[in-house]
Structure 1
């Protein structure tokens, strides 16, 4: 990520220019759409080495913004995600698929980038380089989906072809930009409601820029603890993962004596934990100070986990 920081900074300057232009037209800006376009531009540059132009081109002219319409689907898709987590056998039985135009566009995009790089690492250490490393190994091995009738999980070896690589790239693209954009939007929402907190963030950012001659560095967040606390508090009140599904790999007995069998699917209620007054007093109050100094150190482990925990934690 450090090597990619200059690309994110470039996208940020573009966002700044767009905001300056739009706020001259109106004092009301639809930030969710703007944040989606910004995060999409960052992912395009950092992960795939392409300029998506999602911040500067109109939706009808930009294929990436059309993909965003699919990747940020209506309420029915939110329901389907719940079905996927709670009843996976029913979800896969629906045999849902992605539109042909989206598949063709993304397939052409990824294969073109890989062809331009000669199917070899470019040294950018981006996501395309990662998946092309799989290509060089020819095969990948992992576990199959559990058979809903027998509970059997088989080892599968898949040939690494272009279709597999394109699928992984699409998942990375679709999952990455929407979640980041949502968190940014909620952060702005909370700052708009809490003017005193907004002012503290502004003072901290201004002080940082003054110390560093108006230049951002990769390590900048380490010098802006209050801004980091604001993001942490946003993720507490508005966690992207309201429920985290997991499957037990072995039998386990809870401290209260309840026995859980291997293979059981459990759902960890992240939203409930984050809003439980036993762990976070006045849970509906936006208070970034919870994540500063001693207060942060006193947070009970596993009561705050917006990206999950353990080896399967989301990279965020």
Structure 2
């Protein structure tokens, strides 16, 4: 046999082995009698992502197709067999009751080579618990009160800028406007810099924040490899963050540390609290563990506060105004409540008066139900887990778990007329009767969103001042019905959201 024939035969033999392995691998659920969606050999059940289908559409289709077939169905997170949860009580067990068996999210983190991935959202096991303990004191109600004046100041500036803008053009692209507001808030609170995106939309900080969501270090195949084989990728020192993103935010943090320490500056913001942890001023040890953080850890937490805080909050505000623009009666009702509440406080917007705006809170909760910005919750099983009451279903050790919170929120079993915007779904009486697991925009259990209070605060303040001062209506450029961005892992509009805005 010639060398060429030998090499060709070897190549075909290897391809045959790979094909056989893939075939057997993707029969995982079939041989166990568990319903599942047939996968693509490369992208798993994400076939069509970034091109013809959005993430939220994929999750919703799977949920609707397999709901009622069992407590979970089979799903392939790229190459990884995953349990796609269909039952809210099983989701409750995973997130709360049996949390210790589902601590990790299973996303790629490599703090040594890729420092911005050393963030609380991605950390695992002991490293996550330690960092959560370090950061928890920085997100108390008391700390939120310290940051409230900054948020209020930026919201008032938003009103001034929008008032001026609509004299030139009343049809406003609302997503960008809300994004500039939340970027200013987060830039000040998380990075300690006076960002000026409201007045200068082309500010470098704003542009870099956008690039966090658009610039990718890896293509679709690299992304699939990273998500399918994270341990292997760590061993070969693979990075997921583009170098220019890492360099920009690391430099920003180092410069602000030097500036504050040299000039003895305190602003009582998130950056100050991180700086106290770095300098070990908040607490020495917990159970003998050092509670200080490194500069790299500090940058990673500021970065995730930025990513989780500016995009999710601005998206929620944009969707809320989009819905209110279509329901004049609801918009007027929430405006009347805001006006009456502020009148009781002599026109002054205080931290305490936010709690009195009950209907505004209902509007925000309903927006988060319809447009759940992070439409799934991810976990990894640490030990074999037999589903309570259904022993034929077992989640094995190491399996990825997908909880489709956005699909739960659009289930007719949980919410009547689930695709209709109805803030009365969240009256105090209905919230008291509803199991908390049926509303999951911030997650649930020990690993819920640590920045929930801050996110809610900036959304409440921003919407309250906007609705007090402006009326929002649909216009010829308003995207109805809503379609979703196919390239974004969070829920966002495929098109710009234009609304007609006028002073009231």
| TM-score tier (shorter) | 0.7 to 0.9
Give the TM-score, by structure 2 length: 0.53
Contact 1:52 1:64 (8 Å CA) reproduced: yes
Contact 2:342 2:353 (8 Å CA) reproduced: no
Residue of structure 1 in register with 2:431 after alignment: 296
Cα drift, residue 176 of structure 1: 1.6
Question: Which secondary structure does the structure 1 equivalent of 2:378 belong to?
Answer: strand
Distance 1:4 1:230, change over 3 A: same
Aligned match for 1:72, one of 213, 222, 230: 213
Q: Distance in 1 between matches of 2:369 and 2:261?
A: 44
Residue of structure 1 in register with 2:390 after alignment: 256
Contact 2:379 2:402 (8 Å CA) reproduced: yes
The superposition leaves residues 142-182 of structure 1 with CA deviations (integer Å, 9 ceiling, x where unpaired) of: xxxxxxxxxxxxxxx9x954344323322321232111111
Contact 2:379 2:400 (8 Å CA) reproduced: yes
Q: Distance in 1 between matches of 2:252 and 2:146?
A: 23
Contact 1:45 1:51 (8 Å CA) reproduced: yes
Q: Distance in 1 between matches of 2:307 and 2:263?
A: 24
Q: Distance in 2 between matches of 1:199 and 1:81?
A: 49
Q: Distance in 2 between matches of 1:52 and 1:278?
A: 45
Q: Distance in 1 between matches of 2:191 and 2:437?
A: 34
Question: Which secondary structure does the structure 2 equivalent of 1:199 belong to?
Answer: helix
Contact 2:217 2:240 (8 Å CA) reproduced: no
Cα drift, residue 298 of structure 1: 1.9
Question: Which secondary structure does the structure 2 equivalent of 1:281 belong to?
Answer: coil
Cα drift, residue 306 of structure 1: 0.7
Aligned match for 1:168, one of 301, 305, 318: 301
Contact 2:320 2:363 (8 Å CA) reproduced: yes
The superposition leaves residues 104-155 of structure 1 with CA deviations (integer Å, 9 ceiling, x where unpaired) of: 4323321122112228996544322333344335xxxxxxxxxxxxxxxxxx
Q: Distance in 2 between matches of 1:87 and 1:218?
A: 45
- For residues 241-280 of structure 1, the aligned pairs below 5 Å read 241-254=374-387, 255-257=389-391, 258-280=393-415
Residue of structure 2 in register with 1:96 after alignment: 240
Bigger Cα Rg: 2
Question: How many pairs are equivalent?
Answer: 297
Question: Which secondary structure does the structure 2 equivalent of 1:107 belong to?
Answer: helix
- For residues 30-41 of structure 1, the aligned pairs below 5 Å read 30-41=173-184
| Superposition RMSD in Å | 3.3
Distance 1:88 1:273, change over 3 A: farther
- For residues 202-281 of structure 1, the aligned pairs below 5 Å read 202-254=335-387, 255-257=389-391, 258-281=393-416
The superposition leaves residues 62-105 of structure 1 with CA deviations (integer Å, 9 ceiling, x where unpaired) of: 211211221332899997999599636398787333242x4443
Q: Distance in 2 between matches of 1:81 and 1:273?
A: 31
Q: Distance in 2 between matches of 1:85 and 1:269?
A: 22
Q: Distance in 2 between matches of 1:173 and 1:72?
A: 12
RCO higher in 1 or 2 (8 Å CA, sep ≥ 6)?
2
Q: Distance in 2 between matches of 1:56 and 1:63?
A: 13
Q: Distance in 2 between matches of 1:84 and 1:120?
A: 46
